[in-house]
C-alpha cells in the first residue's frame, strides 16, 4: 500500500515538476533525456581512445603498470560536465551514470577497443560513504560499459578500507598529504591473466586510480586499463 502510494506520488511529481537539463538547467523537451540537445552537442568529448597515447596515459607514466588509460569527457571548472558530475554525486541523480556509460560504452565498442575485456571494476567507496550516499556514483556507469563490451561488472574484488571523509575539515595542504586511501583486493585468484577495466568519475591527479591500480596489480598476469567519465585537462 505504502509503496503504491509513493509510486503514485512519484508519477504526479513527474507530471507536475518540469524536467530540467542537468547540464544547463533549461527545460527539457519531449524526447530529451538528462540533458538538452544544446548541451548534448556541446559536451566536450576527449576523443581519446585505447590505442593512441593521450593525456590520461601521461598522468600515470612511471607510476603504475597499466596497458592504457583514457577518459570520456574533459572536466572544466564551469560548465556542463561539472554540473553533470555534481548532480550525479551530490543530488541523487544516479541515472546520469547510466547515461554517460551507455554513450561511452557504445563509442568504445564501435571503435573495437577493449574487445577482450573480462571485468569492469568501479573505484569503490568506503562502506560508510556508500551508506551515506546510497549508491556508488561510478556503479551504473561501469555497469553500462560492461554491458556494451560483454564484460562482467564486478564490485566486490576491490574494497576501500580507509575512511577519508574527515578530510574536508583539514587545510588544503594537509588534505593533499593525506589522500592515500587504502584499497584492498579481496580476490587474488579470479583476476589472474584477465583484462580488467577500472573506472572512476573524474581523474584529477590520478592518486585514487594509482592506489586502486597498485592493489589490482598484485594479481599475476592482470592486464589493466583505466578510464573515467572525465579528466581535468
Ligand atoms: Zn542543457
CA of residue 18 to ligand 1 center, whole Å: 14
CA of residue 17 to ligand 1 center, whole Å: 17
Measured distance between the N- and C-terminal CA atoms of the chain, rounded to whole angstroms: 50
Question: Which residues does 113 contact at the CB level (< 8 Å), separation at least 6?
Answer: 49, 50, 51
Residue 18 neighbours by CB distance under 10 Å: 7
DSSP per-residue codes, 184-213:
EES-SSTTTT-EEEEEEEEESSSHHHHHHH
CA of residue 22 to ligand 1 center, whole Å: 7
- Per residue in 121-140, pLDDT (tens digit) is 999 999 999 999 999 999 99
* 3-state DSSP assignment of residue 177: helix
CA of residue 91 to ligand 1 center, whole Å: 17
Which cell numbers hold the place of 195?
A: 583484462
- Per residue in 31-54, pLDDT (tens digit) is 999 999 999 999 999 999 888 899
pLDDT above 60 for 1: no
CA of residue 204 to ligand 1 center, whole Å: 24
Q: Which residues share a beta bridge with 121?
A: 198
CA of residue 29 to ligand 1 center, whole Å: 11
pLDDT above 80 for 120: yes
CA of residue 49 to ligand 1 center, whole Å: 26
- Per residue in 6-38, pLDDT (tens digit) is 777 766 666 667 889 999 999 999 899 999 999
In whole angstroms, how far apart are CA 130 and each of 27, 33, 70, 124, 197? 31, 26, 26, 9, 21
- Per residue in 48-100, pLDDT (tens digit) is 988 889 999 999 999 999 999 999 999 988 899 999 999 999 999 999 999 99
Sheet holding 195-203, edge to edge: 68-74, 223-231, 195-203, 119-122, 152-153
Between CA 156 and CA 169 the distance in angstroms is 30
Contact by Cβ (8 Å): 39, 196: no
Residue 13 neighbours by CB distance under 10 Å: 9
Instruction: Give the pLDDT band (50/70/90) at residue 181.
Output: low
Amino acid at each position: 500500500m505504502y509503496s503504491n502510494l509513493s509510486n503514485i506520488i512519484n508519477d504526479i511529481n513527474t507530471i507536475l515538476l518540469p524536467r530540467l537539463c542537468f547540464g544547463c538547467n533549461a527545460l527539457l523537451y519531449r524526447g530529451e533525456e538528462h540533458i538538452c540537445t544544446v548541451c548534448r552537442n556541446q559536451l566536450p568529448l576527449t576523443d581519446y581512445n585505447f590505442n593512441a597515447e593521450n593525456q590520461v596515459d601521461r598522468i600515470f607514466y612511471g607510476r603504475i603498470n597499466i596497458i592504457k588509460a583514457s577518459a570520456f569527457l574533459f572536466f572544466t571548472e564551469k560548465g556542463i560536465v561539472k554540473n553533470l558530475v555534481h548532480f550525479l554525486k551530490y543530488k541523487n541523480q544516479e541515472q546520469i551514470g547510466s547515461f554517460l556509460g551507455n554513450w561511452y560504452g557504445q563509442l568504445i565498442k564501435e571503435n573495437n577497443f577493449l574487445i577482450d575485456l573480462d571485468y569492469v571494476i568501479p573505484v569503490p567507496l568506503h562502506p560508510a560513504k556508500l551508506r551515506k550516499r546510497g549508491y556508488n556514483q561510478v556503479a551504473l556507469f561501469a555497469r553500462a560499459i560492461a554491458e556494451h563490451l560483454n564484460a562482467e561488472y564486478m564490485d566486490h574484488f576491490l574494497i576501500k578500507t580507509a575512511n577519508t571523509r574527515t578530510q574536508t575539515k583539514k587545510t588544503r595542504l594537509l588534505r593533499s598529504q593525506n589522500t592515500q586511501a587504502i584499497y584492498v583486493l579481496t580476490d587474488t585468484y579470479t583476476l589472474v591473466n584477465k583484462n580488467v577495466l577500472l573506472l572512476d568519475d573524474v581523474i584529477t591527479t590520478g592518486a585514487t586510480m594509482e592506489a586502486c591500480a597498485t592493489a589490482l596489480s598484485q594479481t599475476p598476469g592482470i592486464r589493466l586499463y583505466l578510464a573515467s567519465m572525465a579528466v581535468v585537462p
